Amino acid sequence: MKAQTYRNLKLALGITSLTALSLLNGYTSVVTTGDYNETSQAFYPVSSTDLIEGVIGTGISNSVFATNGNAGGNDYQDSAMNLDYSPYSVIFLLDTTINNAGYDITTINTYAGSSSYRVNQYYEIYYTTVANSSWTLLTSVAYQPYNDPNGSVSLVSTWVNITDTEGVLASGVNGLRFDMQTQPVGSPSNLGASYREIDVFGVASVPEPGSIMLMAAGGLALLLFKRRRLA
């Protein structure tokens, strides 16, 4: 009973600190929550149909482990985007060949699985849009349910969920960058977190009415031009 109470307290503190971090950084509508489990390194179900499923990120050689729709088992080396150092960045480009207006991002989930502090999640998310190629900060995450550098708990999973009270985190998105930060705890040789999966959800962005009218006007002008040439 005491262990469960302690777990609930840690979880409540984790959620509170994540929400407070978003508010302090000015992301008043971004809601970030976290959860952890001590029975498996791959406890939480992950998606195999999200927007970056199968996308190979740039900036790190084993990013495919974070987008393969598989959280793996209790051996992180075979199933995780795992590094023994930080910081590093990984970029995922969304497919805009069909949805050329980009995507409305609604939810981002990140999962880590390893032993104790290797599941603490620290990172920043940036995005680009179809209309703006500059990287814009979306939010910062600092979820630290464990502070034991000795890794005394061997089967641990964490899950961070990022949403927006207004329904959409960002619109017209065509790229996402995750800047993984240095762990504040742990030995110098084990500073990286063991990320099992990154899932990004959203829908195709709808062009603004003004853009639609502009495209329609352009199409009409082209049609009239062709008719005049034929005449």
What was the pLDDT predicted at 16?
Answer: 42
Q: State how far the Cα of 125 lies from the Cα of 69, in Å rounded to an integer.
A: 20
Contact 168, 106 (CB under 8 A): yes
93-120 tens-digit pLDDT: 999 999 999 999 999 999 998 877 788 8
What was the pLDDT predicted at 219?
Answer: 53
What was the pLDDT predicted at 28?
Answer: 55
Query: In the chain, pLDDT over 70 holds for what percent of residues?
Result: 68
Q: What is the pTM of this model?
A: 0.79
Is a pLDDT exceeding 70 seen at residue 30? yes
For the ranges 2-11, 84-93, 109-118, 170-179, the one whose mean pLDDT is highest: 170-179
Mean pLDDT of all residues belonging to the chain: 79
- Cα→Cα distances 158→6, 109, 173, 184, Å: 17, 10, 26, 17
Fold of 2-230: Jelly Rolls (2.60.120)
| Domain edges within the chain | 2-230
